[in-house]
Structures are given as structure tokens and as C-alpha cells.
């Protein structure tokens, strides 16, 4: 009996379409209208749509993550109010052959030089602690000329040199620092305030200049991972370390940067 009713309903649907001048199909992602004259046939199916593959993309290379406590937190979730760091969230989409987190809790850029190990891909998340410690920013000429004068730009040159000493074919992504403020006076009251005459954006600008000089992709956490209005909601403290929402936003930005250098694999 149910089979006859089902067939009758399909017949009614076909007749209704045939009598109409046009009809609309209601789809999951939006409505689509059709003119009757443009339709050759209608096929009904009771077969469920096959779910898309949720498997991560396999990446043959090894990834070394260099950074501050924001990156260090990836393996410290049992002690802090987050479930997953941004790197773990990236690995759920991009399955690298090996991942090593060499971030330093409280580390400035200079601390990353000795942390470099052999890898195929490197990400560098630094700048926020150098702002907290008022590291002189320097200029792109300090980087290009390898001045070794202790500025952020000169230290970045030493770090990049160390990476390419480890692997001359390394692929490198530079991450601008996420906006932050507060943290018991460690940083100014707003991300756009100066500390000792230095602005957080000064480090951002030099990172972007180095990336342009070296043709490195940039994961622009500064531009895309929250401003003064959102930082408190996307941090578990005020307002330096990302909570789960903040970590996910960082992961999304970094995945986009990785995809720029994985296309040729």
C-alpha cells in the first residue's frame, strides 16, 4: 500500500511540473529556478547523498613550529583552558609526516635560533614578546645586510640563515603577531598603544617586508585574528593567549598560508 502511495505522490509531482510554466527546486545551499522548456527529464532518487571525505590532506614533509607561548600552548592543554592549540587544528586538515613544536614559553625571536631542527616546513610566530621586552625593531636593511646589531630585523636574518643551514630547500611561513594587550601590565592597555616608543605594528611591518624580500607567504594573524573589540572574547586572559575560538581563527589563517606552498606536492 505504501509503495502505491509513494508512486502516486511522484506522479503528482511530475504532473504538477508539467503543467507549470516554471518551477523551483529547493536545495540545501539555496533555491534554483527552472523554466519547463529547459528541462529534458526529471530523475527522482531516494539514495542518500554520500558525505564528503573528512580525511586530512596528506603532506609528505615535516613541520617545525617556532614561536612564543601562544604556540607552546599546543602541548599544554591539560594545564590551560583550551582544548587544542592552533597547530593541532591545522594538523586535522593537513596531515604532515611529522610535526615538532619548538616554541619557547615567554621566548623572544632570538630564542628561536637555537630551537631550529631539520624540517621541510617552518612557521615562525614571533613579535609579541619582543614588543613586551621592547626589542629594537630595526629596518629591512638590517635584515638584508645581516648587520647582527641586535634588532628584531637583524635577528630575523640570523634565524632564517639557521633554517636554511638546516635545510636549503626549506619552505618558510612568517606569522605576524596576533594583536594583544594587558596581561598584568606586560603589554599596554590597547594593542595600538606604544610601549617604550615602539608599536606592535612596527614588528608586523618588518615581518611583512622580510616576507616580501624572501618571497615567503605570510600568515597574517595581526590582520585577521581579532582587534580590540574581539580580543577579550577570543582570549582566555586579558588579552594575550587565545582561547579555543581564537586558536581556531589562527588555524584557519595558517592553513590558507600553507596551501600556497603545498600546491606543487
Show contacts of 152-156: CB within 8 Å, 24+ apart: 152/109, 152/127, 152/203, 152/206, 153/206, 153/210, 155/109, 155/110, 155/113, 156/109, 156/206, 156/207, 156/210
State residue 54's pLDDT score.
76
Label residue 4 by pLDDT band (50, 70, 90). very low
pLDDT digits (tens, 9 = 90+) for 204-220: 999 999 999 999 999 99
pLDDT digits (tens, 9 = 90+) for 122-165: 999 999 999 999 999 999 999 999 999 999 999 999 999 999 99
State residue 49's pLDDT score.
42
State residue 46's pLDDT score.
41
Label residue 250 by pLDDT band (50, 70, 90). very high
State residue 211's pLDDT score.
98
- pLDDT surpassing 90 at residue 51: no
Mean pLDDT across 237-255: 96
Label residue 41 by pLDDT band (50, 70, 90). low
The CATH number that domain 57-262 falls under is 3.40.50.1110
Report domain extents, the chain: 2-38, 57-262
Whether the full predicted model's pTM is greater than 0.85, yes or no, is no
- pLDDT surpassing 90 at residue 14: no
State residue 264's pLDDT score.
54
Average pLDDT, the chain: 86
Q: Which of 34-43, 72-81, 189-198, 241-250 has the lowest mean pLDDT?
A: 34-43
State residue 73's pLDDT score.
97
Q: Which of 103-117, 146-160, 196-210, 230-244 has the lowest mean pLDDT?
A: 230-244
Label residue 47 by pLDDT band (50, 70, 90). very low
Mean pLDDT across 69-94: 96
Label residue 45 by pLDDT band (50, 70, 90). very low
State residue 263's pLDDT score.
56
Amino acid at each position: 500500500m505504501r509503495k502505491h502511495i509513494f508512486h502516486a505522490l511522484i506522479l503528482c509531482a511530475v504532473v504538477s511540473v508539467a503543467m507549470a510554466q516554471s518551477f523551483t527546486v529547493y536545495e540545501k545551499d539555496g533555491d534554483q529556478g527552472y523554466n519547463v522548456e529547459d528541462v529534458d527529464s526529471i530523475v527522482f532518487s531516494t539514495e542518500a547523498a554520500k558525505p564528503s571525505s573528512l580525511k586530512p590532506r596528506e603532506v609528505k614533509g615535516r613541520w617545525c613550529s617556532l614561536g612564543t607561548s601562544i604556540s607552546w600552548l599546543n602541548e599544554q592543554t591539560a594545564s590551560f583552558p583550551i582544548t587544542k592549540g592552533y597547530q593541532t587544528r591545522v594538523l586535522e586538515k593537513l596531515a604532515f609526516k611529522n610535526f615538532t613544536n619548538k616554541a619557547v614559553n615567554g621566548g623572544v625571536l632570538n630564542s628561536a635560533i637555537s630551537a631550529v631542527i631539520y624540517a621541510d616546513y617552518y612557521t615562525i610566530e614571533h613579535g609579541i614578546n619582543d614588543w613586551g621586552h621592547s626589542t629594537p625593531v630595526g629596518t629591512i636593511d638590517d635584515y638584508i645586510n645581516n648587520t647582527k646589531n641586535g634588532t628584531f630585523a637583524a635577528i630575523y636574518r640570523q634565524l632564517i640563515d639557521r633554517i636554511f643551514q638546516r635545510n636549503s630547500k626549506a619552505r618558510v611561513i612568517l606569522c605576524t603577531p596576533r594583536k594583544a594587550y594587558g596581561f598584568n601590565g606586560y603589554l599596554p592597555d590597547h594593542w595600538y598603544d606604544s610601549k617604550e616608543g615602539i608599536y606592535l605594528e612596527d614588528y608586523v611591518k618588518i615581518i611583512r617586508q622580510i616576507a616580501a624580500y624572501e618571497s615567503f607567504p605570510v600568515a597574517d594573524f595581526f590582520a585577521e585574528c581579532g582587534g580590540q573589540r574581539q580580543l577579550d572574547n577570543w582570549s582566555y586572559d586579558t588579552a594575550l593567549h587565545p582561547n579555543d575560538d581564537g586558536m581556531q581563527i589562527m588555524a584557519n589563517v595558517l592553513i590558507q598560508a600553507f596551501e600556497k606552498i603545498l600546491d606543487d606536492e
